[in-house]
Structure 1
Amino acid sequence: MKILTLNCHSWLEENKEVKFQQLVDKIIEEDFDVIALQEVNQTQGEEAGILDEWYCFNNDTWPILRDNFALALSEALLVEDKEYYWTWGFSHLSYGRFEEGLALFSKEPLLATVTQVSECSDTADARRRILVSGVTETNGELVTVGSIHHSWWANDAFKIEWQGMEKALMDNQNPLILAGDFNQIAGTVGHELVLNSPLKLKDSFEIAETTVGEATIEGPIDGWNDHEGSLRIDYVFVSEGIQVKNHTVTFDGVHAPLVSDHYGIMVELELIKVSV
C-alpha cells in the first residue's frame, strides 16, 4: 500500500499550473493507493463545482466550488485514465480569499467523515481544525486513513486538538494511518504526545526499513516565518498491525520538483496480523 501526504499550499504557488501538473504526473508515476492532502483551497465566491460518481460524500455540508484544488486534481487524473475516489472537508477561511480544507484520495471507495478536533468553531478563524477520515480497503482488509493539518503548540492548541483527535478515533477498530502537516518538530513535546497516545501510533520515519530524506520544510515559510533551517513537521503515523517498508521525502527539488512550500512524504506500507 503506497501513501502520499502533501501540504499543497494550493493556488498560492508561483507557476501554480506547472506545479499542479507535476503533482499529477507524480501521482500517475507512483500509482499511490491513498493520498492525504492539506491546504486544499477553493476561492470564495466561485461557482459551485460539479461532482461526479468518484466523489464520496461526507457529513460536511460546506459546498465544493468549481476551482476546488481536489476537484481539479480528480478531473486531471481522470483525463489520464487515473481513477480515484475522493472526499473534501472545509476547515476555515484563509489568506483573505480562500476556503481551506483537507482531502483524501483512494483507489477504493471511502466511507468518509469530517470531524472538528479544535475547540474553536469559528470558520473565519485559522484555529478551527478538522480531521478528514475515511474507511477504505486494501487487499481485502479495512483500514482507516486520515488527513490532518494541526496548529502549533502555542497556547496548548496542538494538545487540545490532539485530544479531539483521540476522541474522534477512540472507537476505530481498523488499522489506522494518520498523515499530514502536524506543525510539531520531530523530537519535541508535540511529537512525543502523538507517540505516547493511547492510539498506539508509530512514526513511519522511525520504523521504516529504509528512509530517503528527512526534513519536510526548509527556511522561512508561512507559519514558520522566523525559521531558517530544515525541520521535519509532516508525518505519517501508523498503528499496530502496519509494517513500514520505506519512507521517502518527495517534492523536495531532488527526488521530485518542488510543488509547495512543504515537501511531500511517500510511504510504502504492509498490513500484518497482530497476535492477540
Structure 2
Amino acid sequence: MLKVLTLNMHSYFEPRTYWAFYKLAKDIAYNNYDIVCLQEVNQLRYTSIIFDKVRIDNAAYVIKLILQEEFNLNYNLFWDKAKTLDGLIEEGVAILTPHKILERESRYVSDLTADEEWRCRKNVYGCIEKDGVSYNVFSVHFAWEYDGKERFENQFARFLDWMKDKDENLIVAGDFNIDYKSEAYKLMEQTNWKDVSRATNKEHLATAFDENGEGIHIDYVFTNIIGAYEYTLKFDGNNESSISDHRGIYALIK
C-alpha cells in the first residue's frame, strides 16, 4: 500500500505563507504519506545553502524541519532548481518521503534551459524503497499544452525517453498543466499508466482554475501498479483550508 500526495505549492506567492507550510506539514504527519511530490517549491536566491542546492528558506526544507521538530518525523528531501524568477526566487520541484531514496536524478524536459527563462521545466526522480520494494517516483511540472514557445507534447516525449528504464512500480505525480478533456491528455492514454482520478471516476473535479476562474483538472497521480485505488482532493477550500492556487491530490494505491 502506498499513500501519495501531490501539490503545486505556489510557495512564497500565497498569503499566510508559513501558515500554509505548517498546514501541509501537519497533514503529512497526520496521514503518514509514503510519497509527497511538490511543485513550485521556492527559495530566495541569496539565503544560505544547507545541503546540495537547498537553501535554508526552501519551502520543502521548512516543511521537513516542521515534521522533524514538531512531529518527530524524519522525511528525506530531494529538490532541484528549474529556474530563477525575477532574479530573486529559485523555483524547483521536490520529493519528500520517510523512506530511503536509493537513487535520485533530475532533468530538463523543456527545450529552454536558460536560468531566468520562466518557461523552463525540470522534473525530479527518486527510487524509493519501502518494505524491501523499490518504487520509481517522478515529481513533475510540465508546460501548458501550448504556451507560445514550449509544447507539452515535446516535453512529454523527452520525459518518456528519460524514464523508459525506470518504469517498474511507477508513480508519476504533479502539475501536468493539461486538462483531462484536452488533446494533449490523449498522450497519457497511449501509456500503460492508470490515472487514479479517472480510475475512481473523479477526473471531473477541479484541481486548479484558469484565468477566467473556471475549474480545470491539471494535477494528476499516474501509476502502472495494478491494484485498487482511492482518490481525494486536499486543501480544496471547502473540506480543508486552501493553501495554494492548486488543490492537493491524495491517492491511495493498494
- TM, length-normalised to structure 1: 0.85
The residue aligned with 1:60 is: none
Maintained 8 Å contact 2:121/2:141: yes
Any residues of structure 2 matched to 1:29-40 within 5 Å, and which? 29-40=30-41
Whole-angstrom CA distance in 1 between matches of 2:44 and 2:250:
28
- CA, structure 1 residues 173+180, in 2 after alignment: closer, same or farther (shift >3 Å)? closer
Whole-angstrom CA distance in 2 between matches of 1:212 and 1:28:
27
- CA, structure 1 residues 212+233, in 2 after alignment: closer, same or farther (shift >3 Å)? closer
Maintained 8 Å contact 1:38/1:149: yes
Whole-angstrom CA distance in 2 between matches of 1:70 and 1:188:
31
The residue aligned with 1:202 is: 194
Residue aligned with 1:260, SS? coil
The residue aligned with 2:79 is: 88
Whole-angstrom CA distance in 1 between matches of 2:131 and 2:226:
13
Residue aligned with 1:242, SS? coil
1:72, distance to aligned residue in structure 2 (A): 0.9
Residue aligned with 1:112, SS? strand
Any residues of structure 2 matched to 1:13-162 within 5 Å, and which? 13-49=14-50, 51=51, 63-79=53-69, 80-110=71-101, 111-154=103-146, 155=148, 157-162=151-156
Maintained 8 Å contact 1:185/1:233: yes
Q: Is 1:179 matched with 2:173?
A: yes
- TM, length-normalised to structure 2: 0.92
Q: Aligned residue pairs: how many?
A: 249
Maintained 8 Å contact 1:129/1:150: yes
Whole-angstrom CA distance in 1 between matches of 2:87 and 2:13:
12
Q: Is 1:258 matched with 2:242?
A: yes
Maintained 8 Å contact 2:87/2:116: no
Maintained 8 Å contact 2:204/2:217: no
Whole-angstrom CA distance in 2 between matches of 1:249 and 1:204:
12
Maintained 8 Å contact 2:145/2:184: yes
Maintained 8 Å contact 1:248/1:265: yes
Maintained 8 Å contact 1:6/1:180: yes
The residue aligned with 2:251 is: 267
Q: Once structures 1 and 2 are overlaid, which stretch shifts more, 17-26 or 152-161?
A: 152-161
Identity rate of aligned residues, in percent?
28
RMSD between superposed Cα atoms in Å:
1.8
Of the three residues 201, 204, 216, the one matched with 1:231 is 216
Which string of whole-angstrom CA distances, capped at 9 and with x for unpartnered residues, describes residues 128-185 of structure 1?
Answer: 2111011112332211011011111114611111011101111125211100011101
Q: What 5-or-longer segments of structure 1 have no aligned partner?
A: 52-56, 58-62, 219-223, 271-276
Maintained 8 Å contact 2:21/2:62: no
Q: Is 1:193 matched with 2:201?
A: no
